[in-house]
Amino acid sequence: MDELKGYPTQESDFNLILTKWFALFILCAILFLTIFMVFTAGCVSFTKKQINNALTEPTPTPAPPTPEPTPTPEPTPVPMVTEDPALYMFRTNGYEMREFYHWFRSDVQGINSQGTKDLSTYVTVYDHKFLDSYHWWSVSWYRKFVVKPDDVADQFLFIFANIYSDDRGDGLGDDVRQYAMGCDHFSVQLDDRIYQADYIEYPERRVTEFDNMYNFAHVETPGYLGYKIIQEKGTGIIRAEQLEWLMGGRSNAHDGACLYQIPRKDSEGNPTNATNVKVLGNFGTFGQVWWKLK
């Protein structure tokens, strides 16, 4: 037994091999973890960035879709000019912009049930705007939101109308209080096609493109035709009140805009503008007229 001292035994060889394999396993594990951390570091950073962006960026509220307008009988298209412009406008009951169309009815029973009175009403289109898009101001978000046409080939056309019932008090115009006439009595014509006004779901919204404009009386910024903007006392809430009848007097005039979506180009490929668009007025038994834009 003394001769075997200092020489490796079978048991010591086995322990040495086991130690080497264990060390190799530890080294491989460390190498695998290092490679895994390198490849996953970018994914973790990207995920954290996406989460931070989602938490810091507010989700914008899109403008509500415009509902389809209520179908109304279409007025007869106005034929294109084939004669002297002045004679053509006179023959087709045409008016220049800011010229009033007038109707008069004597001894009318108004909705105020105060006996018969004389009705004298004036209507005009006094301004217009062609826009590729428009913006409305959000009080709650304290920012502007953009609205674009439903079709990329279309553009917006705003026309501004003024309607008042004369109240002279001399029998030539009294406060009959006839029913209001809104945007459903106006339409626009391009080529031989007639376009009806869009339905306005939120008439209390302020269109910022009107901020530097005035109504026909040059008193305030125009809103939408047929609505009166009211700010409630105390709460400060702004709402739109629909006007149901037209009271007598210039100060009670109904004034505002009507909105249309029409093609950017006419049938011949020319840009749509004031030279090839007409505004039609359909007032039932009171007559049908049209206005030339300029």
The pLDDT confidence band at residue 226, using thresholds 50, 70 and 90, is: very high
Instruction: Please state the rounded mean pLDDT for residues 90-113.
Output: 88
Res 5: pLDDT? 46
pLDDT at 187 > cutoff 50: yes
> Residue 63: its pLDDT value, please?
45
Q: In the structure, what pLDDT confidence band is assigned to residue 94 with cuts at 50, 70 and 90?
A: very high
Going from N- to C-terminal start, the domains of the chain cover 10-56, 85-292
In whole numbers, what is the pLDDT of the chain averaged over residues?
83
pLDDT at residue 284, rounded to an integer? 93
Asked whether the predicted pLDDT for residue 109 surpasses 60, the reply is yes
Whole-structure pTM value: 0.71
Position 67 scores a pLDDT of 44
What's the pLDDT tens digit per position in 233-273?
888 899 999 999 999 999 999 999 999 999 999 999 999 99
Q: Answer with the residue of higher pLDDT: 7 or 116.
A: 116
Q: Write out pLDDT tens, residues 43-65.
A: 545 555 555 555 555 555 554 44
Interatomic CA distance for residues 145 and 70, integer angstroms: 25
Q: What is the pLDDT confidence band of residue 79, given thresholds at 50, 70 and 90?
A: low
Decide which of 55 and 191 is more confident.
Answer: 191
Position 18 pLDDT exceeds 80 = no
